Structure 1
Amino acid sequence: MDTGHVFIFDTTLRDGEQVPGCKLNTPQKIEIAQQLEKLGVDVIEAGFPISSPGDFKSVVEISKHVTNPVVCGLSRGVKKDIEVAADALKYAKRGRIHTGIGTSDHHIKYKFKSNRERILEWGAEAVTHAKKFVEDVEFYAEDAGRTENEYLARVCEAVIKAGATVLNIPDTTGYCLPDEYGAKIKYLVDNVRGIENVTISAHCHNDLGLATANSISAVMNGARQIECTINGIGERAGNTSLEEVAMIIKQHPRLNLTNNINSKLLNPISRLVAERMGMLVQPNKAIVGSNAFAHSSGIHQDGVIKHRETYEIIDPLEVGLDESLIVLTARSGRAALAYRAHKIGYTLTKLELDRVYEVFLDHADVKKEIFDEDLHEIISATRLSSKVEA
């Protein structure tokens, strides 16, 4: 029975690490995997074992160091890949082999130089082989986003019959529109025999900026696993952002969906991944960007000071931050100035605030942002000037 619970499959250590220049060593991967476990992810895709000795070792060691999440190893639909993945997962408390093959005509014709019937057989054979080693086998239909629905349904039916427990329906190129991707998931739910016995998974890329929207559309139409990464990192323009989908599910009760993510750990793990990978988070990134809870417009600042929910739909405390930021700029008003002044120990009278505000604007027109040390100087100089005048 569908409970509405969405499993969070984190692929930061596999798809996320495919970003050029973001290679992690094994101790760093273990560190991140342990934090992912604390965060509450259900599945950790620990690597692609056959790709390198380092990746193999990382999957082995992560399997030893985490207890609650399923540890997953990626493979192509090739016997040797599958066997190496199984070997890497031998210490996993709960191991999963993630195997598959491209199903779109683009992949069948140009990548495999094959035909639909052979690809269908190949996919089923890969799952059958993987089942010899683990009970939990996830099948990916690469480029499912551009795969004709009727053929995709045939592939899904064949791999379910072969023993797949999870069906990954990737929008590999990030091409689908949300309604189109959601409709694809619904088509599979309505037309694949045995689909009720497996978990449908959404794996979306962000080439057109639609990864998160597509993933949410998928779970609204029957998918119950989202494959994502911390900070949305990944191949090309990245993957679905874990923090975004987790908070969308939390903030929209009408979706009637749940997940196990401890949202208060989102910002700490975001910073950890950014530091270890040397990949800064863009300031305007939802949930974890440095500007996500920062306000510089006077109108917005006044509203937030009076009642936070006027301009914020998420309490910063829910995602691991202490408070919203009131940033002083030339667009700030008296309310923000008085608020920040009070934060650093000053209670200004209305007359003092008017005088300080005039001086503040002169400084703010020169500097992009007025910091606390600047404000100390402005207030002290203004008060001294007032005494001299008196």
Structure 2
Amino acid sequence: MSYKKYKPYGGINIKDRQWPNKLIEKAPIWCSVDLRDGNQSLPIPMNVDEKVKLFKLLVAIGFKEIEVGFPSASNTEYQFLRTLIEDDLIPEDVTIQVLTQSREHLIKKTFEALKGAKKAIVHLYNSTSVLQRRVVFHKSKQEIIDIGVTGAKLLMKYKDKYPETDFSFEYSPESFTGTELEYSLQICEAILDVWKPTSSKKVILNLPSTVEMATPNIYADQIEWFCRNVKMRENIIISLHTHNDRGTCTAASELGILAGADRIEGTLFGNGERTGNLDLMTMALNMHVQGIDPKLDFSNLYEIVDIYELCTRMKVHERHPYAGKLVYTAFSGSHQDAIKKGLKALKDENNNYWDVPYLPIDPHDVGRDYEEVIRINSQSGKGGAAFIMENEFGFILPKAMQADFGNLVKNKTDLLGTELLGNQIYDLFEEEYLNLKSPNLLKNYTIQSVQNVETDENIVNIKALISVNGKEMNISGVGNGPVDAFFNALHKSNINGYNFISYDEHALGSGSNSKAATYIQIEYNDKRYFGVGVSANIDTASLNALFSAINRKS
């Protein structure tokens, strides 16, 4: 069996681990690496203009640390960094970060590219893993340490050549998850001995899962072990940079925060090598829905997605957490019914906390509309169509009518084999219920109302001109209200055999000039029919609703 050629990763010997008992309580330091790690993963890397556009988006979202590239790697990377500096595009509260290998000519060019920057993080890395030491570099542990230390010394050398810039340093033992813990600690502490961090000038140690090799709890154990054992911990910022080879980098980063990490590197929507990097948006909004301020603004996800897709030529999946076009959309009938009732309960109960079935976040928080929440196909039920009619068109269908209309919508979607859009649902509603004018049509009417104050009785006389199968006739009747009087007039005119079942009404909109919607249900030979009327006059709406119900039977 092919699985036998793989060996298990193994666990970490940390018996009194503390991270499982902790909760995330505040946002970490965020660092976007979209313009470096994300960019180098694109089939067509971004040009300078695209990188500038994405940089401005990252600033608008709220990132205070942004890795802008590998300026010694290509002319485009170099020119982009110069554009940011020379065009004064870097806000005072934003620190740019650049990446370099531990090679002097690359480090020299990196510092040249940073000339004139007010502050910058220089990110040094070299690979430390068992596998790469053996098959790529053919070097001993000490030789790998020497590479890192040499680079660290060169950073100190070139820093002094540019005193106008406030430099901070970051070191990554690349492929940390493939490196022995004790050895990763040894090389990081050798770097610290060169840089000599203080409480006012901390060093960033970045511990990347360059390749995700084990379950998230193992990564958390590694981070907690490292945080416990590294010297000068108070002068160090522990940073995480997780990849998604196992599909669990979000969990790994979150557990890594519990284990003691201070800082998170990642990209928008997880763009990065192979299966991608940590999605910063997902992790930030995961905090948001736990009542924690993530310190990043994703309140306009539509715009963010548009700019991201334009600059990277990548697409955000329709089921991507929070940002996907369908993640707030329910097609299932039972889900739609629960969402509809949940939104109503939220309004009725005036609850201070968001608590709606199947919606872990209020779509409004990320710039989405409730109109998108429920969409109708053959899997949908009565609640979905009723939700669309109320939220998009203002019709609050009586409960019994919801099932009646839901069946009509379901039959239509089955027939077409496609989703029904809101306007198509309204067209079906109008065709089936609203002011139906054939074979019976109300042309005009007059009402005389007499109120007996002594007996508190109301007597309504109605006279109406109607058309039946194209033939006009005058009818009249008496009742305790306009609908009752009209109903009695129809019976006298041999439009009979109907039982009155229910009446509902509400205003369509607000204000004194708003129209009324009325819903009347009748019964004929043990079958029930709904009709709907709409008019600025409540009596006209009611009489039209009654005729609509009778016409539906016909």
Normalising by structure 1, we get a TM-score of: 0.92
Q: Which residue of 2 aligns with 1:66?
A: 90
Q: Which residue of 2 aligns with 1:38?
A: 60
- The one-letter code of the counterpart of 1:158 is A
Judging changes above 3 Å, is the alpha-carbon distance between structure 1 residues 43 and 389 closer, same or farther for their aligned structure 2 residues? Answer: same
d(CA) in 1 for partners of 2:44, 2:253: 25
Judging changes above 3 Å, is the alpha-carbon distance between structure 1 residues 304 and 33 closer, same or farther for their aligned structure 2 residues? Answer: same
1:343 aligns with 2:381: no
Q: 1:326 aligns with which of 374, 385, 402?
A: 374
Using the TM superposition, give the Cα deviation of residue 272 of structure 1 relative to its aligned residue in structure 2, in angstroms.
1.4
Question: 1:213-247 deviations in whole A, cap 9, x for unaligned?
Answer: 11111111111111110011111111000111112
1:317 aligns with 2:364: yes
**Conserved 8 A contact 1:103-1:144:** yes
Q: Which residue of 2 aligns with 1:244?
A: 282
**Conserved 8 A contact 1:125-1:162:** no
Using the TM superposition, give the Cα deviation of residue 352 of structure 1 relative to its aligned residue in structure 2, in angstroms.
5.3
Using the TM superposition, give the Cα deviation of residue 92 of structure 1 relative to its aligned residue in structure 2, in angstroms.
2.6
The structure in which a higher percent of residues are helix is 1
d(CA) in 1 for partners of 2:127, 2:194: 17
Structure ranking higher on relative contact order (CA contacts 8 Å, 6+ apart): 1
d(CA) in 1 for partners of 2:398, 2:210: 60
Judging changes above 3 Å, is the alpha-carbon distance between structure 1 residues 351 and 223 closer, same or farther for their aligned structure 2 residues? Answer: closer
Sequence identity (%): 26
d(CA) in 1 for partners of 2:128, 2:334: 52
The structure in which a higher percent of residues are strand is 2
d(CA) in 1 for partners of 2:40, 2:298: 25
Judging changes above 3 Å, is the alpha-carbon distance between structure 1 residues 317 and 378 closer, same or farther for their aligned structure 2 residues? Answer: same
1:50 aligns with 2:72: yes
Using the TM superposition, give the Cα deviation of residue 46 of structure 1 relative to its aligned residue in structure 2, in angstroms.
0.7
d(CA) in 2 for partners of 1:40, 1:69: 9
Larger deviation, residues 173-182 vs 60-69: 60-69
SS of 1:75 mapped into structure 2: strand
Runs of 5+ unmatched residues, structure 2: 1-24, 160-165, 198-202, 344-355, 439-547
Judging changes above 3 Å, is the alpha-carbon distance between structure 1 residues 370 and 10 closer, same or farther for their aligned structure 2 residues? Answer: same
Q: Which residue of 1 aligns with 2:306?
A: 271
- The one-letter code of the counterpart of 1:305 is K
- The one-letter code of the counterpart of 2:342 is H
- The one-letter code of the counterpart of 1:178 is P
Using the TM superposition, give the Cα deviation of residue 190 of structure 1 relative to its aligned residue in structure 2, in angstroms.
1.1
Q: 2:323 aligns with which of 278, 285, 288?
A: 288
Q: Which residue of 1 aligns with 2:101?
A: 76
Using the TM superposition, give the Cα deviation of residue 341 of structure 1 relative to its aligned residue in structure 2, in angstroms.
1.5
Q: Which residue of 1 aligns with 2:238?
A: 200
Q: Which residue of 2 aligns with 1:13?
A: 35
Q: How does 1:1-390 map to 2 (within 5 A)?
A: 5-63=27-85, 64-67=88-91, 68-131=93-156, 132-133=158-159, 135-163=167-195, 165-252=203-290, 259-308=294-343, 309-323=356-370, 325-345=373-393, 347=395, 348-349=397-398, 353-365=402-414, 366-383=416-433, 384=436, 387=551, 389-390=553-554
Question: 1:38-74 deviations in whole A, cap 9, x for unaligned?
Answer: 2111211111111110011112223431212210111
SS of 1:247 mapped into structure 2: helix
**Conserved 8 A contact 2:382-2:407:** no
SS of 2:405 mapped into structure 1: helix
Using the TM superposition, give the Cα deviation of residue 249 of structure 1 relative to its aligned residue in structure 2, in angstroms.
2.6
Larger deviation, residues 213-222 vs 370-379: 370-379
Judging changes above 3 Å, is the alpha-carbon distance between structure 1 residues 221 and 333 closer, same or farther for their aligned structure 2 residues? Answer: same
Larger deviation, residues 223-232 vs 357-366: 357-366
**Conserved 8 A contact 1:46-1:62:** no
d(CA) in 2 for partners of 1:368, 1:130: 61
Judging changes above 3 Å, is the alpha-carbon distance between structure 1 residues 225 and 356 closer, same or farther for their aligned structure 2 residues? Answer: same
d(CA) in 1 for partners of 2:51, 2:411: 49
Judging changes above 3 Å, is the alpha-carbon distance between structure 1 residues 225 and 168 closer, same or farther for their aligned structure 2 residues? Answer: same
Using the TM superposition, give the Cα deviation of residue 346 of structure 1 relative to its aligned residue in structure 2, in angstroms.
5.4
Using the TM superposition, give the Cα deviation of residue 354 of structure 1 relative to its aligned residue in structure 2, in angstroms.
4.4
d(CA) in 1 for partners of 2:360, 2:553: 47
Normalising by structure 2, we get a TM-score of: 0.66
Using the TM superposition, give the Cα deviation of residue 180 of structure 1 relative to its aligned residue in structure 2, in angstroms.
0.9
- The one-letter code of the counterpart of 1:119 is I
Question: 1:164-208 deviations in whole A, cap 9, x for unaligned?
Answer: 711111101121321111111111111111132111111011111
CA-based RMSD: 2.1
Using the TM superposition, give the Cα deviation of residue 282 of structure 1 relative to its aligned residue in structure 2, in angstroms.
0.9
SS of 1:314 mapped into structure 2: coil
**Conserved 8 A contact 1:355-1:382:** no
**Conserved 8 A contact 2:224-2:260:** yes
**Conserved 8 A contact 1:45-1:73:** yes
